């Protein structure tokens, strides 16, 4: 763990209202930018007042909560805004697999935020100097296979579908990675600007090198109120409006996709119900149309029964069947056996939490891990007994397009 400031004195945190800052992403420096943006609103952060590598293991969320309690408890807060996301905030990314290294929490030194037309700035200690450097293009991008080639992955999908037909499990989500190499170092700010521009409906995020635009909200906590957007069941976009309509109708009518979605909703309902005094899940999914794919989507809302923080709820929910499978423990075992790669933060929880336990966490889909000139991109899909490996590959390719666009424009 590192706490940059105040080892003997409390962390001085100050939040003040500010005028319209314009494009939040335009404020970010080149190195280690933090972001959580949807429809131009959200939070961006820079500098590091505190940072910790969360140790792997089943107790990692409890450990993280304790660490946060220590850091937030140590803060001397002057908050003139008093809204979710004001005062000290931590950004976080947790690995998909609880046994993997790589989960991280960071309390930026500066956070600029906007919601419902109100904007505010939080600084910890001396406001870090914002050095403006031009956003740089990474140049030509070349791609190589990650852990498995496309035919190898199709083979793995076929094996998983067979295990489902054999009755070992009901659903498993399998993913693959692609390695992108750029001519020049990849400037995360360029990726964020492109993602937020093309995917305004998604949550564009950046935490410790993990960058993406996910449509899937794992959980938002605002006081006692919680919301989640459950996605599962996908078809690529069509070539015309009529084609889109036909594909959407086919998605609704597909038994495979409807059962896949039902598994995801059931897992969310099962983990949220014990935490909530009321919980609403729709009877039927809706269609979420994104520039690259259409999803079956269900809005879930509820009221927490006690004072669980957003991270407590994340701990209870992860991994949902939208990224793990059903039953969860067997799906995780099958993923470890078949996928042949470390998912790192892909499909793990990513988001932010404030000192009151409010926050927003997404599932890190449509994302990549950026390191210098290299990016590891991830995409996957839910596999059922009747999954067609070629169709699953096409779906994963459509999902990769989000990060390919971010890199290439
Ligand atoms: C696993 C991914 O998507 C999940 C979320 C939405 C739809 C999904 C699907 O239809 O398979 C997946 O469950 C991914 O984007 O890599």
Cα 383 to ligand 1 centre (Å): 10
- Domain-located, residue 280: yes
CATH of residue 11 = 3.60.120.10
Task: Pull the structure tokens for residue 237.
Answer: 């976009």
Domain for residue 119, yes or no? yes
Give, for all 409 residues of the chain, the pLDDT tens digit: 455 444 456 889 999 999 999 999 998 988 889 999 999 999 999 999 999 999 999 999 999 999 999 999 989 999 999 999 999 999 999 999 999 999 999 999 999 999 999 999 999 998 666 677 889 999 999 999 999 999 999 999 999 999 999 999 999 999 999 999 999 999 999 999 999 999 999 999 999 999 999 999 999 999 999 999 999 999 999 999 999 999 999 999 999 999 999 999 999 999 999 999 999 999 999 999 999 999 999 999 999 999 999 999 999 999 999 999 999 999 999 999 999 999 999 999 999 999 999 999 999 999 999 999 999 999 999 999 999 999 999 999 999 999 999 999 9
In-domain check, residue 135 = no
Instruction: List all residues whose CB is within 6 A of at least one atom of ligand 1.
Output: 173, 175, 216, 231-234, 295, 322-323, 365-366, 379-382, 399
Residue 54 belongs to what domain range? 2-130+142-408
pTM of the shown model:
0.96
CA of residue 264 to ligand 1 center, whole Å: 10
| Distance from residue 173's CA to the centre of ligand 1 (Å) | 8
pLDDT at res. 5:
43
Residue nearest atom 8 of ligand 1, based on CA coordinates: 232
Residues in the chain: 409
Is residue 136 domain-resident? no
Q: Is residue 32 part of a domain?
A: yes
For this structure, is 171 an active site residue? yes
Determine the pLDDT at residue 260.
Answer: 97
- The burial of 224, by beta-carbon neighbours within 10 Å (0-12 exposed, 13-18 middle, 19 or more buried), is given as middle
Q: Which atom of ligand 1 is nearest to the CA of 233?
A: 10
Domain count of the fold of the chain: 1
| 195: in domain | yes
ipTM: 0.99
Is 216 tagged catalytic? Answer: yes
The C-alpha atoms of residue 131 and residue 120 are separated, in whole angstroms, by 20
């Amino acid at each position: 763990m590192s706490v940059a400031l105040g080892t003997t004195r409390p962390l001085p945190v100050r939040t003040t209202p500010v005028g319209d800052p314009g494009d939040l992403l335009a404020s970010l420096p080149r190195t280690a930018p933090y972001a959580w943006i949807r429809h131009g609103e959200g939070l961006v952060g820079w500098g590091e007042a505190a940072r910790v590598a969360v140790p792997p293991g089943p107790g990692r969320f409890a450990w993280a909560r304790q660490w946060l309690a220590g850091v937030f408890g140590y803060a001397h807060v002057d908050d003139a805004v008093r809204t979710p996301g004001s005062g000290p905030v931590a950004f976080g990314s947790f690995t998909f697999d609880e046994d993997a290294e790589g989960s991280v929490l960071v309390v930026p030194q500066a956070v600029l935020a906007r919601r419902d037309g109100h904007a505010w700035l939080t600084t910890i200690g001396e406001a870090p100097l914002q050095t403006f450097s031009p956003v740089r293009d990474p140049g030509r991008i070349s791609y190589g296979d990650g852990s498995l080639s496309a035919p190898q992955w199709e083979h793995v999908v076929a094996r998983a579908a067979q295990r489902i037909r054999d009755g070992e499990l009901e659903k498993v989500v399998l993913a693959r990675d692609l390695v992108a190499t750029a001519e020049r170092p990849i400037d995360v700010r360029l990726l964020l600007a492109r993602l937020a521009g093309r995917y305004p409906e998604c949550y564009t995020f950046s935490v410790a090198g993990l960058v993406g635009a996910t449509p899937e909200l794992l959980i938002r906590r605002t006081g006692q109120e919680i919301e989640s957007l459950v996605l599962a069941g996908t078809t690529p976009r069509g070539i015309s409006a009529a084609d889109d309509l036909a594909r959407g109708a086919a998605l609704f009518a597909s038994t495979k996709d409807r059962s896949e979605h039902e598994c995801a909703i059931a897992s969310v309902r099962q983990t949220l119900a014990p935490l909530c005094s009321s919980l609403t899940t729709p009877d039927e999914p809706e269609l979420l149309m994104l520039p690259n794919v259409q999803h079956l989507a269900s809005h879930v809302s509820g009221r927490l029964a006690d004072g669980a923080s957003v991270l407590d709820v994340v701990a209870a929910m992860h991994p949902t069947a939208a990224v793990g499978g059903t039953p969860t423990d067997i799906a995780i075992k099958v993923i470890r056996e078949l996928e042949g790669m470390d998912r790192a933060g892909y499909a793990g929880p990513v988001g932010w939490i404030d000192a009151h336990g409010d926050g927003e966490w997404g599932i890190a889909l449509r994302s990549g891990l950026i390191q210098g000139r290299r990016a590891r991109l991830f995409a996957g899909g839910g596999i059922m007994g009747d999954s067609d490996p070629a169709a699953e590959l096409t779906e994963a390719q459509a999902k990769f397009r989000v990060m390919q666009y971010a890199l290439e424009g």
